[in-house]
Structure 1
Amino acid sequence: MFLKPKILFSWFVFLLSFTSLFLSSWIVLPAPNMFLLTLAVGAPEVSPWLLLFNSLSFLLSFFCIRRHQSQRLACIFSLIGLLICVWVLVNIPISQMQMDKAMKQGLGTNYLEEIPVSARARMQTHPFDLVNSFRGIPLGKTRHQKDIIFASPAGVPLKMEVYQPPEVGKYPAVIVIYGGAWQYGNPHANSEFNQYIAHQGYTVFAIDYRHAPKYKFPTQLDDVRTALNFIRKHAAAYEADPERMVLIGRSAGAHLAMLAAYQPDAPPIRGVVDYYGPVNLSEGYKTPPNPDPINTRAVLKAFMGGSLEEFPNQYEIASPINYLTHPLPPTLLIYGSRDHLVEARFGRQMYERLKNSGNTAVFLQIPWAEHAFDAVFNGVSNQLALYHTERFLAWALLKQ
């Protein structure tokens, strides 16, 4: 026997309300495993979309459902989902004010005036654009080269991708290092970001490195340093200025970016951008996050070749926070308050140590963001991060 159309529609609206709430709930719920971590990462970034879904389900449940009990539940589900999404959107202006203040404290009140007007004209005009959340962030035309082999250690070909502005010229170099728990990933990661930055007037090098557990630390650092030497040696061929370089990394890539830039014999680096990178491996091993969806200790053991008890000195050597004994490049640190892989407290600790040792540093914290928040390029968090990252790059590489 078939259900009546009205009953079917009521169940559809109820299911829509429940689904919208389920997805929205991961804006505030911590993910206990890697599967649910995907939802926890993505939910706040697509909160404008979820706001629409919750609004639609609320209106449908309020005006169209006639079965009293299901209407009440559907309305409650939708209303809770709406409130969660609104929490993110309402906090955007507050977070932007805090970030703007942090940038001025770290780089100087008038740091924007040091950036050429032509560079400022190419940047995003607003830290958050609701239209871009739906249509995407415009990327602009660039030139793109793939599969450039820069080294073959032990017969393993290491490749890079190069993104260049559309016009031939000589541009500052931005070296991008992907994340992936030091175990996976490739230079094609975050291609939208690389294309966007190249269009802003930089030559972007997205580099590779060998992965754990087959290759232990410091192999990954050695590969990054090899890539830097290759880029400096062949800079002219890629229209890059070897005296104006910034390193950008995400997660494990941010860890490698800081380590490479902070070495006493590092090439001249104008700045480092750290997106949610591990900075204190010893402390991270001792006090993993809770919940711990990635199994932090297992990841560190695979990278280091064993536990902290087995290799305490190696853990210290592999921690960027222990390299503050000499002047370091200016560092921009961006972390999410809800990060359950690399907690924001580590970014704050790194910032305090850099500042107290006389180095230039900026710490930005996004209240609703999880680890890898910029995986959604036009997401709420990445719009804020990109807005400040492009200003930091211009200040470090183009300032007059």
Structure 2
Amino acid sequence: MQLAALADRLYFFRVVVTAVSFMFPEPKIFLSWLALLLSFVSLFLSSWIILPAPNMWLLRLGVGAPEVSPGLFLLNLFSLLLSFVCIHHYQLQRLACIASLIGLLTCGWVLVNIAPTQMQMAKAMKQGLGGDYLQGIPVQVSAKMQTHPFDLVNAFRGIPLAKTRHQKDILFATPAGVPLKMEVYQPQEVGKYPAVVVIYGGAWQRGNPSADPEFNQYIANQGYTVFAIDYRHAPQYRFPAQLDDVRTALNFIRKHAAEYEADPERMVLFGRSAGAHLAMLAAYQPDAPPIRAVVSYYGPVNLPEGYKEPPRPDPINVRAVLKAFIGGSLEELPNQYQIASPIAYLTRPLPPTLLVYGSRDHLVEARFGRQMYKRLRQSGNTAVFLEIPWAEHAFDAVFSGVSNQLALYNTERFLAWAVLARE
């Protein structure tokens, strides 16, 4: 049977080669058309670095293109050289070269802005946390951190990940008969570590604690016990069910902290998108347990304003998402929208907050992060706002991507400052 399968593959390959040879009897013609096609494919992929995605399918390209821009830069460069060498028709060669040059310039815009963006981030970190905020971080902790905000080698090979201990399917609650589980990542060495509670995103409607394992593993290796928690999903379960589940998880973690080598008095909440919204809400409640800090990656903060002024284009249909989460429109349930907005709780001392947003985010616009930052500062709270000019929503889905390297570099320093340096 294996020989038959091999024969089928060889036959298929022979058919393809025969078809290509028939279409392009001259190798030079084949290479010229290949160069032309490659130039436009590379331009198409690169264009989503600047083009706003009108739907969810194209949004994937909008998220990924800037994050793999070093690779796209090389692809455009290769297509440019191939077009120059292989296309002998002047008009076609000119067209292909122009397409490749546009792609190169688009990718180059990201690459040349990496250093200025990190300079702005470093300035924002010092402005929010103090010019000497790094001085109190223990040497053994800082030794494990990224030494550079962006590493081109890591962009291609991936960020190195050390081994950690990992536990799955830890049941922490069954509200309304729904089993809620968490995953725990721990450093290899037995000890007692600060706790980082990670809450996934997904428009409050989808996702699970298994999301973004690379991040959880990386942070655990830095010397934290990472708890990736679950919550019930809309529209079947509406707000405040999700917040209740997060609070239940926090109580479970505090009660069982010793079992997982976690320090309940040094706890940080980290969330992405809808998870960032829940992290801020949980940390900002008047009766919240002691929380050292909150990290919000592109989290919604002002639901009434988000409903009134959805992004353009609006690939996810923000109003429909909010209706499913809250249970109705803003006109029907104005109080619920207000109660569900983290920005409504800035009336007392709150945990320090790190806000990370992309300038090109078309789900949760960066202006909401800036608004939250200003309100936190005005109310006397510690806050840092980091903005990545080329990044879309969920930029950290590409773990070794350009944006996530910058975000991770500053996030790990914020975490160390919050739970180690401040002591």
Instruction: Provide TM-score, normalisation by structure 2.
Output: 0.94
1:182 aligns to 2:204 (yes or no):
yes
Deviations 1:268-321 (A, max 9, x none): 000000000000000000000000000000000000000000000000000000
| Residues in 1 aligned to 2:126 and 2:216: alpha-carbon distance in whole angstroms | 26
Farther-moved stretch of structure 1 (112-121 vs 164-173): 112-121
The equivalent position to 1:286 in structure 2, one of 304, 308, 316, is: 308
User: What is the aligned residue count?
Assistant: 400
| Residues in 1 aligned to 2:165 and 2:96: alpha-carbon distance in whole angstroms | 50
| Residues in 1 aligned to 2:84 and 2:390: alpha-carbon distance in whole angstroms | 29
| Residues in 1 aligned to 2:199 and 2:124: alpha-carbon distance in whole angstroms | 25
Higher alpha-carbon Rg: 2
1:375 aligns to 2:375 (yes or no):
no
Q: Which runs of 5+ in 1 are unaligned?
A: none
Q: Aligned Cα RMSD in Å?
A: 0.6
SS at 1:187 equivalent = coil
Report the AA paired with residue 289 of structure 1: P
* Superposed displacement of residue 64, structure 1: 2.1
Map of 2:159 onto structure 1: 137
| Residues in 1 aligned to 2:96 and 2:181: alpha-carbon distance in whole angstroms | 52
Structure 1 segments of 4+ aligned residues over 4 angstroms from their partners: none
Q: Is the 8 A contact 2:174 2:180 kept in 1?
A: yes
Q: Is the 8 A contact 2:307 2:330 kept in 1?
A: yes
Report the AA paired with residue 27 of structure 2: P
Report the AA paired with residue 19 of structure 1: V
Q: Which runs of 5+ in 2 are unaligned?
A: 1-21
| Residues in 2 aligned to 1:16 and 1:61: alpha-carbon distance in whole angstroms | 9
The equivalent position to 2:39 in structure 1, one of 17, 22, 30, is: 17
Q: Is the 8 A contact 2:267 2:293 kept in 1?
A: yes
Map of 1:150 onto structure 2: 172
* Superposed displacement of residue 398, structure 1: 1.0
Deviations 1:47-103 (A, max 9, x none): 000001000000111122212121111100000000000000000000000000000
Map of 2:235 onto structure 1: 213
Map of 2:347 onto structure 1: 325
The equivalent position to 2:362 in structure 1, one of 311, 315, 340, is: 340
Report the AA paired with residue 344 of structure 1: A
Farther-moved stretch of structure 1 (102-111 vs 59-68): 59-68
Report the AA paired with residue 116 of structure 2: I
Report the AA paired with residue 59 of structure 1: L
Map of 1:7 onto structure 2: 29
| Residues in 1 aligned to 2:136 and 2:142: alpha-carbon distance in whole angstroms | 10
* Superposed displacement of residue 2, structure 1: 3.9
| Residues in 2 aligned to 1:2 and 1:31: alpha-carbon distance in whole angstroms | 35
Q: Is the 8 A contact 2:205 2:234 kept in 1?
A: yes
Map of 2:127 onto structure 1: 105
| Residues in 1 aligned to 2:42 and 2:372: alpha-carbon distance in whole angstroms | 38
Report the AA paired with residue 366 of structure 1: I
| Residues in 2 aligned to 1:107 and 1:203: alpha-carbon distance in whole angstroms | 24
| Residues in 2 aligned to 1:346 and 1:2: alpha-carbon distance in whole angstroms | 54
* Superposed displacement of residue 367, structure 1: 0.1
1:395 aligns to 2:417 (yes or no):
yes
SS at 1:114 equivalent = coil
Instruction: Provide TM-score, normalisation by structure 1.
Output: 0.99
Report the AA paired with residue 72 of structure 1: R
* Superposed displacement of residue 132, structure 1: 0.2
Q: Is the 8 A contact 2:28 2:86 kept in 1?
A: no
SS at 1:112 equivalent = coil
Map of 1:241 onto structure 2: 263
